[in-house]
């Protein structure tokens, strides 16, 4: 963790914090090897970045004088729509998305998403939040992404997606098209990425009716957790 | 696995193959649910892609008539130099590198690489090869990357790296520089990416003496397994 992310509950006053989260305590002590007088890079969830000076450290808490003066990095002008990944990959993808600066993530059903994936405890709000915080701590950002779950493809695409894509360019990653994915764009984007195996033609058709353009990044078929950073590196 | 990669030993004749690898057998039977008469996408390690027609299938072997007529995707014009990742991440990174079309990978020591990482069984030639094959099967490519191990940073950079970077542009990903990483390049590249925590200034200096330019991709600090696809998506 390159940043210690404080929750509003950790703030005693505007410039005084007390960390009690066991994961963060263990990390600060064991990895940073912090002692009284050390400075740590801290941030407030959905707030600023800054510096925390360790003033007291015991078995159950670390007290910091904090100065939160620096704005977090700019969010990507992106809404990411992702076929629900298999549970094994969920944590990694949530972390990656948070690290890379995505702030709007829609996890959606698709023909090739196994129904059982929707049952995973990784989709409980608390577990999602935990992975997003880990991703933000890696990427040195404070703004929690919003994650939305959509268990039915067609109603989502027909009833909700038009409002989401309004005023953005909308792209869907699809190996079976000639159009190359653009790069280094400057505008707001909605990007859809299918599950392992991709969207089926019927789903691509529905997305195209919703103003999505199908684009490809070459012949190689990537796992979703590789495709997401690959596409974002190219696009932004 | 989007491709079944045959080893030369699997070929009985130029157009007849017998697969006995238990992992591949299980996958073909359980995931593809293949039966006699089915066509599978196959490739020959370091050879062509094509189609395999299942002619016989039993508990220990699958026989195929194969037609290997299609060239594999173009290799990236890239040599990747990577600080040795922690063992937990080694398999994923080897797979990713193979999926993305990297053909030359140098895993190197660095100040922030823990010495114990060099002891992992994942670095044994057979285990590296296994992960590379999984990555090629994902990416539908046949050409095995070459992986080189360098346990000492300075001798590698001073004695071996100059010949590697000759006739290429050389970049090192480094958060602490103003220069932005280029995108969509057309030339041959050597790209160095540090371990978690990055290269130390002394190492950056040595790389710069070897004609590397330090480039950054923004404020966010990524894990190596995220940074590699992110950089390659941007560069190629």
The distance of A74 to chain B (nearest Cα, Å) reads 9
| B217-227 mean pLDDT | 95
Distance CA B236, CA B220 (A): 21
Q: Is the pLDDT of residue A114 over 90?
A: yes
Binning pLDDT at 50, 70 and 90, where does residue A194 land?
very high
The distance of A112 to chain B (nearest Cα, Å) reads 13
pLDDT of amino acid A80: 98
Kindly list the residues from chain A whose CB atom is less than 8 angstroms away from the CB atom of residue B226: 96, 99-100, 229
Q: Is the pLDDT of residue A180 over 90?
A: yes
A163-177 pLDDT, tens per residue?
999 999 999 999 889
DSSP state of A211: T
The verdict on a CB contact (< 8 Å) between B220 and A100 is: yes
Share of chain B above pLDDT 70, in %: 100
Share of chain B above pLDDT 90, in %: 98
In Å, how far from its chain's centre is CA B216?
Answer: 22
Q: Across the strands, what pairs with A214?
A: A172
- One-character DSSP codes across A1-48: --SEEEPGGGEEETTEEEE--HHHHHHHHHTS---TT-EEEEEETTS-
Query: How many pairs of residues across A and B have Cβ atoms under 8 Å apart?
Result: 82
B23-64 pLDDT, tens per residue?
999 999 999 999 999 999 999 999 999 999 999 999 999 999
Residue A229, chain B, CB below 8 Å: the answer is yes
Interface test with A, best of B175, B226, B232, B235 (most A CBs within 10 A): B226
pLDDT of amino acid B1: 84
| Dihedral pair phi/psi, residue A219, rounded to 5° | -75, -20
- Mean residue pLDDT of chain A comes to 97
B162-199 pLDDT, tens per residue?
999 999 999 999 988 999 999 999 999 999 999 989 99
Residue A233, chain B, CB below 8 Å: the answer is yes
The distance of B188 to chain A (nearest Cα, Å) reads 18
Kindly list the residues from chain B whose CB atom is less than 8 angstroms away from the CB atom of residue A231: 233
Distance CA A47, CA A67 (A): 12
Q: Is the pLDDT of residue B101 over 90?
A: yes
Identify the closest residue of chain B to A96 by CA–CA distance: B226
| Dihedral pair phi/psi, residue B78, rounded to 5° | -140, 135
Binning pLDDT at 50, 70 and 90, where does residue A60 land?
very high
Q: Is the pLDDT of residue B204 over 90?
A: yes
pLDDT of amino acid A234: 97
Distance CA A49, CA A4 (A): 9
Interface test with A, best of B234, B235, B236 (most A CBs within 10 A): B234
Identify the closest residue of chain A to B71 by CA–CA distance: A219
Residue B84, chain A, CB below 8 Å: the answer is no
DSSP state of B171: E
The distance of B229 to chain A (nearest Cα, Å) reads 5
Identify the closest residue of chain A to B97 by CA–CA distance: A226
pLDDT of amino acid B144: 98
Distance CA B4, CA B19 (A): 9
The distance of A160 to chain B (nearest Cα, Å) reads 30
Binning pLDDT at 50, 70 and 90, where does residue A7 land?
very high
DSSP state of B60: S
pLDDT of amino acid B171: 98
Q: Is the pLDDT of residue A1 over 90?
A: no
Question: Strands (DSSP E) along A71-194, which ranges?
Answer: 78-83, 104-108, 146-150, 169-173, 189-193
The distance of B144 to chain A (nearest Cα, Å) reads 14
Identify the closest residue of chain B to A73 by CA–CA distance: B219
- One-character DSSP codes across A95-114: HHHHHHT--EEEEE--TTS-
pLDDT of amino acid A61: 97
Domains of chain A, earliest start first: 4-70 (2.40.240.20), 78-235 (3.40.1280.10)
| B91-98 mean pLDDT | 97
Kindly list the residues from chain A whose CB atom is less than 8 angstroms away from the CB atom of residue B233: 217, 229-234
Identify the closest residue of chain A to B175 by CA–CA distance: A139
Identify the closest residue of chain B to A102 by CA–CA distance: B220
Kindly list the residues from chain A whose CB atom is less than 8 angstroms away from the CB atom of residue B229: 222, 226-227, 229-230, 233
Kindly list the residues from chain A whose CB atom is less than 8 angstroms away from the CB atom of residue B232: 230, 233
């Amino acid at each position: 963790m390159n940043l210690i992310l404080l929750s509003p509950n950790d703030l005693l006053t505007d410039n005084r914090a007390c960390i009690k989260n066991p994961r963060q305590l263990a990390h600060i002590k064991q990895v940073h090897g912090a002692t009284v007088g050390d400075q740590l890079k801290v941030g407030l969830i959905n707030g600023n970045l800054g510096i925390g000076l360790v003033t007291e450290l015991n078995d159950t808490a670390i007290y910091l004088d904090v100065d939160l003066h620096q704005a977090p990095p700019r969010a990507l002008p992106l809404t990411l729509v992702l076929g629900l990944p298999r549970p094994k990959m969920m944590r990694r993808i949530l972390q990656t998305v948070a690290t890379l600066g995505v702030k709007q993530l829609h996890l959606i059903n698709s023909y090739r998403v196994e129904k059982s994936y929707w049952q995973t405890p990784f989709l409980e709000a608390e577990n999602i939040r935990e992975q997003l915080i880990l991703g933000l701590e890696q990427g040195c950002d404070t703004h929690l992404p919003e994650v939305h779950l959509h268990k039915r493809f067609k109603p989502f695409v027909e009833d909700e997606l038009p409002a989401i894509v309004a005023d953005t360019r909308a792209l869907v990653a699809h190996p079976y098209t000639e159009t190359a994915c653009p790069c280094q764009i400057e505008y707001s984007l909605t990007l859809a990425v299918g599950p392992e195996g991709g969207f089926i033609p019927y789903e691509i058709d529905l997305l195209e009716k919703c103003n999505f353009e199908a684009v490809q990044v070459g012949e190689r078929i990537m796992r979703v957790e590789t495709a997401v950073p690959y596409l974002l590196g190219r696009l932004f």
